[in-house]
Structure 1
């Protein structure tokens, strides 16, 4: 496929083992007009060959394909001299945590519409570099009360509108093995920030959810305490308070990994007071 020398738009590669899915993505991207589609691949091996042949700015990447998976392609792409931004396009919502760990710009669950794709492309092309002091990543789908998939309807980065009146969350919906599982808030050991989203850490599992840490702080009830701008802990699961290597304080949690959660100096005294320590 030839590339026009006078076209300065970002270059996009579509990777999907199903030809109709590639054709639909190409059509939507051409209608959008923000990128030029200069490559298509039907499997991971083809994608890697194309990525090594010319630099791409954006890859629309399926996950489950014969042979090399989309996750493996994304991992290999990170070692390129100029890694492209990755937007996963998949029918399977249960790989979002792995996608997040690979610093994907977005995670779209099929079927998605043109508006959702447009937001994903904008996010990918405007997102800053990988590590800005907090975890970077992509959204994970969740079912809302009407049974829709929030990943298909939710805007991009940022905290929810502060004017919203949030309902308390007794249970938090997470995706597991293609199912929506409702996690009791008492099972949450701690939550950590992830660029407008959050990780929930349970005793021996971790899930990515679309709630921001600020929203979780507002909506979770019980003994939750914001130890740091990046962490919200369930005080019922604090096992120890220990000084960290910087001379500050850390919480040792009672999950299987005995995770250490950072405590800011500003919050240390209040945390001790709340724990009676």
Structure 2
């Protein structure tokens, strides 16, 4: 049975683009469109949807407010946020969103989001998703692994209508966020469209994967402290003195890298 999908966006071209992209996935059927929060809630109360593609900024209420209202239902649909604004990602994931797509995105990225929505509990926040439950690969995609990317000296960060290039050397550490990642800088945390696996491939050199959820710039490690589980905790040199876990299987290699 095809998953019933509702598209919620106040811009007609955006709705048309989403409908077009969803046409490439046989397991998903678009059965409704809404242009604002009130219309969305009316439709969601009248029919059981499986997936909602939800914009953030709309007339009459935000997508965050719609997602909050859905949580009170007995069987809420999976929510995939689709927005031009990365700033709301922490709020979205606090509401257990299946994914958070920052426009523009392509069919492959949408396919990964649909996989998460239709196969809850499979994979983890930093894993590279594979098609499941009959969700096909995005049109034109290949099952072959991509060649290793060249190391990036700077990472693009979307901030509203601007793209800021962040020097890799200023990244303290990165954490996984369901297909995206947060970069902890000296005085702020920013969201980027790379998964942690992608960052690990691109940020080689002084970066080390200490845990499935953390990628650390070893140049910014201030202290090493043992934890109660026999592993380590790294204290970083950002303004918060953030603490980063090191899994036990990585302790020996990390000590060697640090010359200990």
Fold conserved between structures, TM > 0.5: yes
Selected match of 2:119 from 127, 131, 137? 127
- 1:94 correspondence with 2:83: no
- What TM-score comes out, normalization by structure 2 length? 0.76
The 8 Å contact of residues 137 and 195 in structure 1, kept in 2 or not, is answered as no
Residues 1:239 and 1:80: Cα distance change in structure 2 (over 3 Å) = farther
The corresponding residue for 2:98 is: 104
- 1:182 correspondence with 2:165: yes
Match of 2:175, SS state, is strand
The 8 Å contact of residues 126 and 179 in structure 2, kept in 1 or not, is answered as no
Deviations 1:143-193 (A, max 9, x none): xxxxxxxxx99969x9x925x142121111121222111111111111123
The 8 Å contact of residues 8 and 54 in structure 2, kept in 1 or not, is answered as yes
Deviations 1:27-80 (A, max 9, x none): 765686643444333321332343344321011212211231112222332443
Q: Unaligned regions of 5+ residues in structure 2, if any? A: 130-137
Match of 2:158, SS state, is strand
The corresponding residue for 2:190 is: 207
The corresponding residue for 2:216 is: 233
Distance 1:217 1:137 in 2: 12
The 8 Å contact of residues 100 and 136 in structure 1, kept in 2 or not, is answered as no
Residues 1:154 and 1:63: Cα distance change in structure 2 (over 3 Å) = farther
Q: Unaligned regions of 5+ residues in structure 1, if any? A: 1-7, 139-151
The corresponding residue for 1:65 is: 58
- What TM-score comes out, normalization by structure 1 length? 0.72
The 8 Å contact of residues 6 and 31 in structure 2, kept in 1 or not, is answered as yes
The corresponding residue for 2:253 is: 270
The 8 Å contact of residues 127 and 179 in structure 2, kept in 1 or not, is answered as no
Residues 1:76 and 1:253: Cα distance change in structure 2 (over 3 Å) = farther
Greater CA drift, 178-187 or 251-260: 251-260
| Distance apart, 1:93 and its partner CA | 4.0
The corresponding residue for 1:56 is: 49
| Distance apart, 1:246 and its partner CA | 3.1
**Pairs aligned (count):** 250
Distance 1:225 1:24 in 2: 38
| Distance apart, 1:108 and its partner CA | 5.3
| Distance apart, 1:88 and its partner CA | 2.8
Deviations 1:192-228 (A, max 9, x none): 2345543221123223333343343333244222212
Distance 2:177 2:63 in 1: 22
Residues 1:133 and 1:122: Cα distance change in structure 2 (over 3 Å) = closer
Distance 2:139 2:2 in 1: 26
Mapping 1:112-261, distance limit 5 Å: 115=107, 119=111, 122-129=114-121, 134=125, 161=145, 164-261=147-244
Distance 1:173 1:26 in 2: 28
The corresponding residue for 1:143 is: none
